């Protein structure tokens, strides 16, 4: 499979093309560490672009002792934008792989890792251009293509539609509520099953038709008394 970033040239993300093309060339000369580290740098510039497109403040609130870095920027986008979760996962993969390539010299990235990083970058760019430019480009991963193209809450031309107010954590809460209520329904059905009703009916009928022990003794005494009179 071959990756080509020419689709970025004439898009609203065209400033990313030189770096994307450089990353591809680094891969062809087996410079896998620089492939991953430069992918991380390109991701940083893409996130800054997204902040501008979505009118998000780069000076968002952070916890005491923390800084506005790539990790916190990515988490901030997760909360503020309703991108597909699979796309945001690609952001995190490039960030983690880039951190390892830049800060840990004992780790030597291989061809497989570099290729995975390029594919992540490719599908991120495809999603952004499809969403903001109204294109219909192809993804490398079928699962990401399916989620991005069939989820109407996430996939649309953003400049022509109003953004959704629902956040990512709202989707997760909805799924949890559904999973909790399901066992209760199953228990309710089991408790009022037709089998139990039949058993209760049979038990009641047996109670009515079967004579009690006291009645049996009275009947036997009468028979014995009647026998004595005959004798």
Residues of the chain whose pLDDT is less than 50?
153-155, 161-201, 207, 209
Residue 59: alpha-carbon gap to chain centroid: 28
In the chain, alpha helices (H): 17-28, 32-53, 70-80, 85-103, 111-133, 142-150, 168-191, 194-209, 213-230
**Alpha-carbon distance 109 to 147, whole Å?**
29
Phi then psi for 77, rounded to 5 degrees? -65, -35
pLDDT digits 0-9 by tens, 29-65: 999 999 999 999 999 999 999 999 999 988 888 887 7
Phi then psi for 84, rounded to 5 degrees? -60, 145
pLDDT digits 0-9 by tens, 71-102: 889 999 999 998 999 999 999 999 999 988 87
pLDDT value of residue 104:
73
pTM above 0.75, yes or no: no
């Amino acid at each position: 499979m071959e990756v080509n970033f020419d689709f970025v040239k004439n898009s609203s993300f065209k400033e990313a093309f030189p770096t994307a093309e450089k990353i591809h060339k680094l891969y062809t000369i087996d410079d896998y560490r620089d492939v991953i580290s430069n992918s991380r740098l390109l991701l940083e510039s893409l996130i800054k672009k997204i902040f501008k497109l979505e009118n998000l403040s780069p000076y968002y609130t952070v916890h005491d002792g923390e800084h506005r870095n790539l990790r916190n920027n990515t988490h901030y986008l997760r909360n503020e934008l309703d991108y597909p979760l699979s796309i945001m996962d690609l952001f995190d993969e490039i960030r983690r792989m880039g951190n390892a390539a830049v800060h840990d010299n004992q780790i030597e990235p291989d061809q497989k890792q570099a290729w995975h990083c390029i594919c992540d970058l490719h599908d991120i760019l495809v999603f952004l251009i499809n969403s903001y430019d109204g294109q219909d480009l192809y993804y490398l991963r079928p699962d990401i293509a399916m989620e991005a193209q069939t989820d109407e809450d996430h996939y649309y031309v953003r400049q022509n539609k109003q953004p959704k107010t629902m956040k990512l954590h709202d989707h997760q809460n909805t799924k949890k509520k559904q999973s909790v209520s399901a066992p209760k329904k199953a228990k309710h059905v089991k408790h009022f099953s037709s089998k139990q009703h039949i058993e209760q009916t049979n038990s009641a009928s047996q109670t009515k038709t079967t004579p009690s022990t006291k009645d049996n003794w009275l009947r036997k005494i009468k028979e014995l008394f009647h026998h004595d009179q005959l004798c």
